[in-house]
Structure 1
């Protein structure tokens, strides 16, 4: 299975949630590439007419498959369903997992993927550019430590409690009057953009933490692994877990700046919420859950 042919065959997995125009744009960007491709769109229980709209729009395209999930299983599990289908049913040589709010800019995927595979890379992260042309990959040189994960878990539990008591906004407004410790817990731990490495990329491009908006899996990974992401999380820390897992399995990850992706960011998450409090509850709750999964994974890896 997964023999490498002269012309690469790629399967794209797109996790869809409600935002149809994003998914249409993502698919169109893939179709512009001159390569043999398959696309698996996983509707993560959009709870609207998304599945039927997607089914009808692409029913005549034999390269596009629409899967429906009957409950929202989150980022990792939803993508794992698409990955499993691409691996077992379509026997894809390469599997590219993309957020539906991303679009491929590059037109040279075939040659670059074959080159990177031959150099022994199992997981590849492209150059992801947001709407302000900020480079979102790589995200860092290492995953978070177990000590840092435990501290973050405590902080987010406090933040969740404060948010549920309707005190969050008041504390943020009063941040100048808070003590140093309180500011670090209640303000500096509030939602922020993810830290990324300077675009000048001082240091190695190998074995860095790669942004989950677009991850490319080569046959080195696919032939041995049944999941794209470590199971258990709903919507956060998938990148840290993936890097820790790859290190544990001696897989090499690689930042490939020759492949460029546009990322419009968070459209599916924003579709869930009408107010900031609801979005914060979602953020803190799922960060706590992901941190618990991460801590347990690291403990098991280290034999604690």
Structure 2
């Protein structure tokens, strides 16, 4: 098998069907497969997808009996594809990401010949016109950085719980304008290596597939990119960014469907941010202990 796409599905069926359609229409090989992993959608769209694609030779739909979160949910598809086909390349992608590239496998193979990447990311276009999501700057360099972020998120939760977050962030935005704050531009138009990649579309080569069974399962939701980056840097693996490959990201389709209301959604996200960062701290500690031996 040349390549397997693993799409994590939750609730938003129209986006998942579009994502499958874009792959089928644009992929430049017949030796591919799509594994859809339904993460126990409460609206029963997993079984609906099974019925829709039961006769499709390139699509398999797996239904998880419970919501396993992002990493473990993806890993169901990763391990299934690895054991069944052990493909040259594997893609983990959100169900709201659409493959625009018509020479995807060709460009992926050329990138592998150049960098021997374990993980690769494409240029990601978004509905607001941005194309600078990849590559990402690593958020943390040590455990103290993680602790600072956890403290910041705990304050954010209090702001949302006591209903003064909108005013706080409005004033913070005004302060940013007055002080001339600017977001540092990313080099999204240049090839790069050993950088952090956005988790909505990740390409794994055999350099990764043979050594791992998917993503770090320490987190239920969020900060998966930081886990992956830390593992790759510490394990001496290459992460590459290739701006010649294009995908479109609709963004947040699954969470938008499952968690209506901005305040409730933000509290949900912040609580999971903190849980994930506490798990990330443990990963840092483990690598530090191993380096001291």
TM-score normalised to structure 1 length: 0.85
Unaligned residue ranges in structure 1 (runs of 5+)? 1-7, 178-182, 188-193
Q: Secondary structure at the match of 1:271?
A: helix
In the TM superposition, residue 51 of structure 1 has moved relative to its aligned partner by: 1.5
In structure 2, relative to structure 1, the CA distance for the partners of 1:173 and 1:53 (3 Å cut) is same
Correspondent of 1:170 among 131, 139, 164:
164
Q: Deviations over 1:212-257 (max 9, x none)?
A: 0100000111111112x21111221111111110011111010011
Contact preservation (8 Å) 2:189, 2:243: no
Is residue 149 from structure 1 mapped to residue 146 from structure 2 by the alignment?
A: yes
Answer with 11-20 or 89-98: which moved more.
89-98
Distance 1:67 1:132 in 2: 32
Deviation by residue 1:174-198 (Cα, 9 ceiling, x = unmatched): 5688xxxxx69xx9xxxxxx98724
Aligned length: 278
* Range that drifts further, 15-24 or 231-240: 231-240
2:156 maps to 159
Q: Are positions 1:199 and 2:200 aligned together?
A: no
In the alignment, structure 1 residue 261 sits paired with structure 2 residue 247 = yes
Q: Which structure 2 residues correspond to residues 1-304 of structure 1 after superposition, within 5 A?
A: 9-32=2-25, 33-35=27-29, 36-119=31-114, 120-145=116-141, 146-164=143-161, 167=162, 169-173=163-167, 197-201=186-190, 205-227=192-214, 229-303=215-289
Query: Which segment drifts farther, 144-153 or 209-218?
Result: 144-153
- Which protein is richer in helix relative to its size? 2
In structure 2, distance between residues paired with 1:30 and 1:236: 25
For residue 13 of structure 1, give the secondary structure of its aligned residue in structure 2.
strand
Q: Which runs of 5+ in 2 are unaligned?
A: 177-182
Give how far 1:48 is off: 1.4
Name the SS of the counterpart of 2:194 in structure 1: coil
**Native 8 Å contact 2:188 2:243 kept in 1:** no
Q: Is the 1:143–1:209 Cα contact (8 Å) retained in structure 2?
A: no
Q: What residue number does 2:180 align with?
A: none
CA distance in 2, matches of 1:128, 1:45: 27
Residues 140, 65 of structure 1: alpha-carbon distance in 2 compared, 3 angstrom cutoff:
same
- Determine the C-alpha separation between the residues in 2 that align with 1:242 and 1:271: 27
> 1:280: how far off?
1.4
Distance in 2, matches of 1:31 and 1:65, equals 13
- Tell me the distance in 1 between the aligned counterparts of 2:184 and 2:34: 30
Aligned match of 1:5: none
How far, CA to CA, are the matches of 1:176 and 1:104 in structure 2?
36
Q: 1:174 to 1:54 in 2, by over 3 A?
A: closer
Instruction: Tell me if the contact between 1:126 and 1:137 (Cα under 8 Å) persists in the aligned partners.
Output: no
